[in-house]
Amino acid sequence: MNLNRYLVATILIFSVFFPIGNRPLIACDETLVMLLTSQNPASEFSKTIRSFTTALSALGTSLKNDQKDNYDAEMAQVMNAWLEFSKRYMTNPPEEARNDRNWAQKTGETARFIGQIRKNVSGNNFKAAHDQVLDLSSRIGAFFEAFGVSDEKQLFIKTSTNLTNLERYLLNNEITAAQTLVAELKINLDEFAPMLPDSYSGNIASTGALLSALETHIAENRSTAETDIVVQDLKAAFEALRSFILMHEWFPALDKTSQEQ
């Protein structure tokens, strides 16, 4: 395993075995972006898109959890990171995405989202701004569509997108759309299962139990606060499954150890 993968694997392992309290897992899936850029983490594109997703995540987390009069500082970081990204790649995609015919459309759509977020933050319409941050976060994976992403990582992107959209739908009380995504996440979980040794069947089962619990919460019309707790637990559970899959891919000896135990 090369050094780049080792660094990403170390972060993934740390996130699984040393969770930071009730850390908010909202907005961008920063670990996934790090994974998607792990082949060349020192490239300008990797650094620039990670800077943008980190700033967007900080804004989303602050909008959701902080009670402040304004979020100008967080918004300024997003604007600065996007300015750097657009200056380099708005009409000139990185080498890995040279064949992406939709690149200009994606960057243009992102710019439009950021403009809407900025307008709502400036107008103190923080709920709408947070909703748009989640919506934009769910689209970040589209920048990697032409990178030759493996089927495994396509599944990671799809699941992350579904989880982010699920959170957004529930916060907006869009029940039918949320129920549809819970069903899709059950399919995603079934796709995760064959990638892991039998020793992780308990983790698969507990993640399935969270999906069932969320279905019950939605059916019983529980409060947004209650359902959001389950959604955050689901995000953590799927992130852990993803980390387990990568650990067994990058450290094959783990499979032998599991069998011996």
161 and 180 together in one domain: yes
Residue of 207, 199, 233, 214 whose CA lies nearest to 169: 214
- 46 and 124 assigned to the same domain: yes
Q: What is the pTM of this model?
A: 0.81
pLDDT score for 33:
84
Q: What is the CA radius of gyration of the chain?
A: 19
Report d(CA 159, CA 165) in Å as an integer.
Answer: 10
Same domain (yes/no): 57, 106: yes
Q: Which domain holds residue 46?
A: 1-149
| Domain final residue, candidates 131, 149, 167 | 149
Task: Per residue of the chain (261 residues), give pLDDT as tens.
Answer: 444 444 444 444 444 444 433 333 333 467 788 888 877 788 899 999 999 999 999 999 999 988 889 999 999 999 999 999 999 999 889 988 888 999 999 999 999 999 999 999 999 999 999 999 999 999 998 898 888 888 888 899 999 999 999 999 999 999 999 999 999 999 999 999 999 999 999 999 999 999 999 999 999 999 999 999 999 999 999 999 998 888 877 665 555 544 444
| Contact of 215 with 234, CB cutoff 8 Å | no
Q: Within this chain, do residues 157 and 175 fall inside the same structural domain, yes or no? A: yes
Are both 165 and 112 inside the same structural domain?
no
Q: Are residues 185 and 261 in the same domain?
A: yes
For tokens 């961008």, what's the residue?
28
**Spatial separation of the C-alpha atoms in residues 4 and 38, rounded to whole Å:** 6
**Residue 34 sits in the same domain as residue 52:** yes
Contact 188/235 with Cβ under 8 angstroms? no
49/81 Cα distance (integer angstroms):
8
